[in-house]
Amino acid sequence: MALLLSLTSSFHANLRKARGRKAAFLRMGGILLWLAVTACAQSTKISAVSAINDPALDPRVESILKQMTLEEKVGQLVQYSAGQPTGPGTGRTDYEDMIAHEQIGSLFNVVDPHQINAYQHIAIEKTRLHIPILFGLDVIHGFKTEFPIPLGLASTWDPTIVEKASRVAAMEASADGIRWTFSPMVDIARDARWGRMAEGAGEDPFLGSAMAGAYVRGYQGSRLNAPDSIAACAKHFVGYGAAEAGRDYNTTEISEHTLRQFYLPPFHAAVDAGAASVMSAFNNLNGTPSSANPFTLKQVLRKEWGFRGVVVSDWNAVGELIPQGVATDEATAARKAFLAGVDMDMVSSFYHDQLEKLVTSGQVTQAQIDEAVRHVLRVKLALGLFEHPFVDEAGAPKALYRPESLELARTAAERSFVLLKNANGTDGKPLLPLANTSQNIAVIGPLGDDSSYSNGAPPGAGPRTSLTSALAERIGATHISRFKGCGILDATNDDIAAAVAGAQKADLVIMALGESPDMSGEAASRAHLGLPGRQEELLEGVARTGKPLVLILFSGRPLTVPWAFEHVSAVIAAWLPGIEGGPALVRTLFGDVNPSGKLVVSWPRSVGQEPLYYNALNTGRPPGDVDLTRPPADIVARYVSRYIDEQNSPQFPFGYGASYTSYSYGPAQISTRSLSAAELNMKLHSNAAVMTAEADVTNSGSRTGAEVVELYIRLQGTSVAEPVRMLKGFQTVTISPGETRRVKFELTPETFAIWNAKNQFAAEPAKLSVWISPDSAHGSATEAEIVP
Ligand code: BGC
């Protein structure tokens, strides 16, 4: 290792000397280029450049490219984390020096605007070509104003909220000097064991695509070169969420049909929305790691989708090709990743160390290097970085925690809550919403004092109010008693006993239980999905007091708590609701807002059901609900696709969410009972409505509510088996008590197309079922057909 290090450093020292000589020679050309770039920036043509695919970028890209040396080109393909976290794979720390030698194209995890400017001054003033550094960060659900985690944001079923939240994130991050976020994560997540389910929009490709587009539009704004726009990065390309056994970074096996029909669409939507970058994933996909996979990176992304932005590897994913077993040395790993289509190497340093040598030995061509560099330059130019490389160091505070941003964070949190259960109390009325009468409330559980409810954004100094404080503000501190009861992972018996005694004295108990923020997200897979530590014991102890009990679950995934769903009157899934989570919960508990969030993942009864997703294929032996209290009565009951000790159905289905009011759905009415596959295929990429489907939805309760109305289809008789249901539309309608709203969907040809046995995206003759329903498990189908 020591020998390797000394060889490497003498190699770099020699390289630097050679560069010093060349630099003097080339400086004059660079100054001319810089003048040209700056002059161009003033022309109206250039300032109109705002999108990654804008052809106006091409001549600028080419004019810079043709002045670059091979070393300078390779430099553009190199990225390091220059702040926290550091970790395995971080090759270098001498960033000032590297920037001065044009060896770095991008840095990330630098969050101090002064430091960002300091690095940028080196890039702009001390290098021959003055190419700015692109600064990135994982801005996942807000920068400083933390919104609900993406799983929560998706539970709003409202792309507009997601777009607005990402706009705020972009404004705050860009004011800090960050112009690139590694977000959105658009991985389909079918397995709640996988901690990164928290970072995405759940299990459905249709909803996931809508959210992917919304994130990109929000981050990138109406003009990518506006100073408050940031480049989006759709990640992790692709199939990362299908990690076997739900264990992060694990291998994936995904058929092309499943890849095309489920895992790729949200990425396609992000690219169509103009995403400036895509991140190649860690996972091995059908034997070829995603970061060395020419099929996904070149064939699908570049050829089929026409993507012109940059592909960055995930953290050290190029380095990980060695342990993954497709390379035994750095040169091979760099070559495989690069030739497969990874333009920029995040932290491994393999591109820095190997690419020039690979060109010299003829294993990589200059033209291939040029193509990758074009992608990087294109993003930097599209962002207007050449014109505005520096950040106004005094500007950040004005952009952070604006009142309207905090209000949006609160609204987003309110809309993200999913009311899972709201049974009648002893007075025969549903427990929620709580009456505004003075009653004594015991707040019990380890999550009652959390004030950020976040698992990703860097901690900021903004206003935060925990659930307990927000409750005290609402009803007065004297009416609140607070008992932690236990830690998230640990407790003494005394704590639990004190909490139970506290509950005895209260009129009502609110329990705040669940996962700590670091129990979801990256590297946070769980093999057990129940309440961690002794929280279940605490819950059962408190519930046995017989006091009215509201359980608020904080988590980055659904939790298997069947006992709670049976015994507790009211349960809310609050996810990790962000900086305004406390006030948003209080407003929800007291009925200022009526919950309208719905699940974007199937909620399991037991971890043994995972992976669990609604849009599954039917088996040849589907069971109905099974009787688990006795052994299967006969062959018919036994030899079906079932567990002998659990139902197949989820605890709560995808799309489910209750409300303080109730809704009734009329049957779906469709405009035609017969579609022609040939005609659908002719119009496949048009937006023409080929069928309308509508249904009456009535608010049958006593409160106004916003109902997410969902449209599903099923196709039978196709060349490949299709899922039992597929979401193809959703709309939120606000309905007053007693009012009926007719909800109408216009279905385009694409709705009916599948990735078929000929490996084509096409409509086929089929029996067609259409549901308009409150979730993926209810409603009755209206039948039609697709004829040849
Ligand atoms: C994660 C990515 C993230 C990157 C940079 C990786 O470990 O998988 O999602 O963008 O680190 O922080």
Q: What is the pLDDT of residue 88?
A: 54
| C-alpha of residue 315 to centroid of ligand 1, in Å | 6
* DSSP secondary structure letters along 503-567: HHHSSEEEEEEE--GGGSSTT---S--S-STTHHHHHHHHHTT---EEEEEE-SS----HHHHHH
- Residue 32 — pLDDT band, cuts 50, 70, 90? very low
Residue of minimum CA distance from atom 2 in ligand 1: 314
Question: What 3-state class would DSSP assign to 188?
Answer: coil
Token output for 780: 């009755």
Residue 583 scores a pLDDT above 80: yes
Q: Which residue among 178, 182, 320 has the greatest number of ligand 1 atoms within 8 angstroms of its CB, and so is best to mutate?
A: 182
| C-alpha of residue 103 to centroid of ligand 1, in Å | 22
Q: Which residue among 315, 320, 344 has the greatest number of ligand 1 atoms within 8 angstroms of its CB, and so is best to mutate?
A: 315
Using the CB atoms, write b or e for 71-102: b if 16+ within 10 Å. bbbbbbbbbbbbbeeeeebbbbeebeebbbbb
| C-alpha of residue 182 to centroid of ligand 1, in Å | 7
**Which atom of ligand 1 is nearest the CA belonging to 137?**
12
Q: What is the DSSP letter of 185?
A: B
Q: What is the mean pLDDT of residues 509-517?
A: 96
- Residue 157 — pLDDT band, cuts 50, 70, 90? very high
Q: Which residue among 236, 237, 278, 522 has the greatest number of ligand 1 atoms within 8 angstroms of its CB, and so is best to mutate?
A: 522
Residues 6+ apart with CB under 8 A from 501: none
**Which atom of ligand 1 is nearest the CA belonging to 183?**
10
6-18 per-position pLDDT tens digit: 323 332 333 333 3
Contact by Cβ (8 Å): 246, 611: yes
| C-alpha of residue 138 to centroid of ligand 1, in Å | 7
| C-alpha of residue 584 to centroid of ligand 1, in Å | 30
Average pLDDT across the chain, whole number: 91
Q: What is the pLDDT of residue 9?
A: 32
Q: Which residue among 135, 138, 187, 291 has the greatest number of ligand 1 atoms within 8 angstroms of its CB, and so is best to mutate?
A: 138
- Give the burial class of 425: count Cβ atoms within 10 A of its Cβ; 0-12 exposed, 13-18 middle, 19 or more buried: middle
Alpha helices by DSSP H, listed for 188-275, are 205-220, 256-258, 265-272
Label the pairing between strands 782-787 and 766-773.
antiparallel
Residue of minimum CA distance from atom 6 in ligand 1: 315
- Residue 632 — pLDDT band, cuts 50, 70, 90? confident
Residue of minimum CA distance from atom 12 in ligand 1: 138
- Residue 631 — pLDDT band, cuts 50, 70, 90? confident
317-369 per-position pLDDT tens digit: 999 999 999 999 999 999 999 999 999 999 999 999 999 999 999 999 999 99
Contact by Cβ (8 Å): 322, 349: no
CA atoms within 13 A on the CB side of 497: 3
Question: What 3-state class would DSSP assign to 61?
Answer: helix
Token output for 726: 């597929």
**Which atom of ligand 1 is nearest the CA belonging to 236?**
9
Instruction: Given the residues 176, 187, 314, 775, select the one marked as catalytic.
Output: 314
Q: What is the mean pLDDT of residues 251-268?
A: 98
| C-alpha of residue 235 to centroid of ligand 1, in Å | 9
Residues 6+ apart with CB under 8 A from 525: 193, 194, 195, 243, 246, 247, 248
Contact by Cβ (8 Å): 454, 554: no
Residue of minimum CA distance from atom 5 in ligand 1: 315
Residue of minimum CA distance from atom 8 in ligand 1: 314
Q: What is the pLDDT of residue 462?
A: 62
Residue corresponding to tokens 């970072």: 199
Spatial CA neighbour of 770 closest among 668, 683, 686? 668
Residues having CB closer than 6 A to ligand 1 are 138, 182, 235, 314-315, 522
470-485 per-position pLDDT tens digit: 999 999 999 999 999 9
| C-alpha of residue 225 to centroid of ligand 1, in Å | 25
Residue 33 scores a pLDDT above 80: no
Q: What is the pLDDT of residue 461?
A: 53
- Please report, as a single letter, which amino acid is at residue 77: L
Q: What is the pLDDT of residue 86?
A: 64
Q: What is the DSSP letter of 572?
A: E
676-695 per-position pLDDT tens digit: 999 999 999 899 999 999 99
Q: What is the mean pLDDT of residues 98-105?
A: 96
User: For this structure, is 314 an active site residue?
Assistant: yes
223-232 per-position pLDDT tens digit: 999 999 999 9
Token output for 239: 């199939």
Query: What percent of the chain is helix, strand and coil (3-state, nearest 5)?
Result: 35, 20, 45
Residue of minimum CA distance from atom 7 in ligand 1: 315
Q: What is the rounded CA–CA span in Å between residue 395 and residue 400?
A: 9
Q: What is the mean pLDDT of residues 473-501?
A: 92
Q: What is the mean pLDDT of residues 494-522?
A: 95
